[in-house]
Amino acid sequence: MRILLTGGSGDLGTLLSIDLLAEGNEVVNIDTALPQIPGSIFIKGSILDRTSLAKATHRVNCLVHIAAWHGIHESKGTKSPEEFHDLNVTGTFNVLEAGAKEGVKKIIFISSTSVDNPNSIYGHTKILGEEMCRAYTERHDMEIIILRPRAFIPPWNRVVYRDFIEWGKWFMKGAVHINDVKQAVLKSIERLDSGKHLSEMCPVLIVDGAYEYTTKDLDKWDADGEGSTFRKYYGQYYNLVVTTGLDPARKPKLLNIEKTQVIIGYDPKYSLKNLLEELKQYGLEGPPSPF
Ligand SMILES: NC(=O)c1ccc[n+]([C@@H]2O[C@H](COP(=O)([O-])OP(=O)(O)OC[C@H]3O[C@@H](n4cnc5c(N)ncnc54)[C@H](O)[C@@H]3O)[C@@H](O)[C@H]2O)c1
């Protein structure tokens, strides 16, 4: 298959490229930044440049639209509302329109759980992006899967996380590992390529991580004292967690991924247990970047 990744030089695009290339696909990457790994057909350009985009979409069978400014750019104030609108809204329109002109029928749109915060600039641009996906599905007979991952900046991203503990603090609130987001995209591609039509138009699929905790644990959180629910599953790591400054009493927020499991067979793998094992193995540095 020939698969286009917009923003394919970023964290998610790079991980996807590694797997898609290994499976023998042709990967086209349109990005303003250079790729971090070799092997893809790289088009250096912006999705705001319709000529470059037309070149990138040429002969493509499936398109994964990743390029966007995201939550971190809003919280750090590094991108203006105009920049958000240009890349996330006009950019998404350009990608869908270029796909329609080239006859691309299989599309995956990387949205975000930030749609639950419509007052944020970022969340609002993703709401508009999802809305455009619905319109294009109908108008051009496309099959589009909308993935809504929660935050997934990887632990090895040192621009964002000073060290593995900082990432761990964030993860313990409830989170998804980037490898699981990659899995959701790969399974969406497989699903669209299966030839079986989607039972629902433009499904919106939440992407959350794996958990040892159950609903009952969450309902009766720390009923036997502070840190008791953590101890139930991860007792052997209790001292390690406390000495590194992580909070074993932190109650995570879990999202409902049932629909994602049913429609694409999503099966997240990375849980708090994995984090604790990596903490034990790699310490403050955390696991190395896979590329
Ligand atoms: N990272 C997260 O925590 C998170 C959570 C939920 C959803 N998302 C969504 O995932 C996607 C990005 O994920 P990521 O973590 O790989 O981000 P990233 O920032 O690592 O990658 C984005 C890529 O887009 C490229 N890009 C920027 N402007 C461009 C333009 N005009 N034309 C083409 N490419 C351009 C960047 O150079 C970069 O390589 C976004 O759609 C984001 O909204 C991210």
Whether residue 168 has its Cβ less than 6 Å from ligand 1: no
Mean pLDDT, range 31-52, rounded to an integer: 98
**DSSP code for 34:** P
Domain boundaries, the chain: 2-207
Residue 36 has which token pair? Answer: 């971090």
Q: What is the pLDDT of residue 76?
A: 87
Mean pLDDT, range 140-162, rounded to an integer: 95
Mean pLDDT, range 21-47, rounded to an integer: 98
Whether residue 187 has its Cβ less than 6 Å from ligand 1: no
Mutate to test the pocket of ligand 1, among 5, 31, 177 (most ligand atoms within 8 A of CB): 31
Quick: pLDDT tens for 85-144.
999 999 999 999 999 999 999 999 999 999 999 999 999 999 999 999 999 999 999 999
Question: What is the per-residue DSSP string for 65-116?
Answer: E-----HHHHHTT-S-HHHHIIIIIIHHHHHHHHHHHHT--EEEEE--GGGG
State the closest ligand 1 atom to the C-alpha of 30, by its place in the atom list counted from 1: 33
Quick: pLDDT tens for 230-272.
999 999 999 999 999 999 999 999 999 999 999 999 999 999 9
Residue nearest to atom 5 of ligand 1 (CA): 151
Which CATH code of 3.40.50.720, 3.40.50.2000, 3.40.50.300, 3.20.20.190 fits the domain covering 2-207?
3.40.50.720
Q: Angle at CA 67, nearest 5°, toward 117 and 121?
A: 25
pLDDT over 90 (residue 75)? no
Q: What is the pLDDT of residue 174?
A: 87
E strands in 166-245: 204-207
Query: What distance separates the 2 farthest-apart alpha carbons in the chain?
Result: 62
State the distance from the centre of ligand 1 to the C-alpha of 244, rounded, in angstroms. 31
Whether the CA torsion 79, 66, 40, 95 is positive or negative: it is negative
Quick: pLDDT tens for 178-237.
999 999 999 999 999 999 999 999 999 999 999 999 999 999 999 999 999 999 999 999
Q: Which of 4, 133, 19, 137 is nearest to 59 (CA)?
A: 4
Whether residue 79 has its Cβ less than 6 Å from ligand 1: no
71 band by pLDDT with thresholds 50, 70 and 90: confident
Q: What is the pLDDT of residue 117?
A: 94
Mutate to test the pocket of ligand 1, among 36, 43, 64, 66 (most ligand atoms within 8 A of CB): 66
Whether residue 248 has its Cβ less than 6 Å from ligand 1: no
Residue nearest to atom 38 of ligand 1 (CA): 10
Whole-number mean pLDDT of the chain? 96
Distance separating alpha carbons of residues 194 and 198, to the nearest angstrom = 10
Q: Which of 88, 106, 108, 3 is nearest to 47 (CA)?
A: 88
Q: What is the pLDDT of residue 72?
A: 86
Residue 93 has which token pair? Answer: 């329109």
Q: Which of 90, 164, 88 is nearest to 126 (CA)?
A: 88
% the chain with pLDDT above 70: 100
pLDDT over 90 (residue 151)? yes
Whether residue 68 has its Cβ less than 6 Å from ligand 1: yes
